[in-house]
Amino acid sequence: MNIRIAFFIILAGISIASCKNENSSTTKNGFKYKLFKTGKGDFIKTGDIVYLNAMLMHNDSIFLDTRTNPMPFEFVMPHDSQVTNPSPIVDILPLMRAGDSAVVIQPTDSLKNLQPFMKKWKEIQHSFKILRVVGEKEMKTVRDKEAAIITQANKDLEDYKANKLQNMKTTTSGLKYVIHQEGDGAVPKAGEVVNVLYYGAELSNGKEFDSAYKKGAPFSVIVGQQQVIPGWDEILQTLKKGTSATVFIPSKLAYGERGIPGIIAPNSDLMFYIDVIK
């Protein structure tokens, strides 16, 4: 048992005992909880992007622990109208801020489609640790950058097609890129989590198909694990953290003959403007 798991078990044990006594707190949908207010900043609101660790326990047994994944769990706080069934995470998050922890007790009779191995259980313990919250103000700051990014990407595409793009580098695989600003961070290694802001378009017509700038928050990926297209795995292990660049990815390093139906045509070469967050 590692230190982090041991801490969570101790935290859960203290909280479960607290939840069962007469001074326990209760959410709007009747879930008992214990909140550890060690965070700061604004309380979580509808639309916020929340990065957290979560663990599900029954007694002393852990049957789900997101910390086994190098990337934290990402959750977008829904509007009340989007919630069809009471949920511990939806109930507790508005009471929390970045840095806070909580344990919530959920009776199993409130669960639909209960798994066979859980039918004899009376309750489940949810442990949450809020790592980061991206609120509307921060998302707007990112979204406001998109217009300038699109202008830069379109200029790079025009120069690329006219063979006028200066300082372009080509890798042995055929991937091409030009650095706009080189960062001073380390080059990510395989297995490392990297956060990236990006704008993506088809090379043939400049048609946008995806943008983290539009979402307002970076995309997280474990590099070198085939979680993304080969061109992304390669470029993210080439550029230093803090670098912004335009990347031209041949179809064989993108989505190949499959494409993405309705989004990216088969055999499409792609262009990405990317900003590797330090």
Q: Please list the active-site residues.
A: 199, 209-210, 229, 255, 272
| Cα–Cα distance measured from residue 102 to residue 90, given in angstroms and rounded to the nearest whole number | 13
| Residue 242 DSSP label | T
The token pair that represents 234 in the structure block: 């390669």
Q: Which residue has the tokens 């080189």?
A: 182
Those residues with Cβ within 8 angstroms of residue 91's Cβ, 6 or more apart along the chain or in another chain:
27, 28, 29, 31, 33, 104
Is 13 within 8 Å of 34 (Cβ atoms)?
no
Q: 124: closest CA among 64, 50, 51, 37?
A: 64
- SS3 for 5? helix
Contact 105, 123 (CB under 8 A): yes
Lookup: tokens for 27: 């959410």
CB 270 within 8 A of CB 201: yes
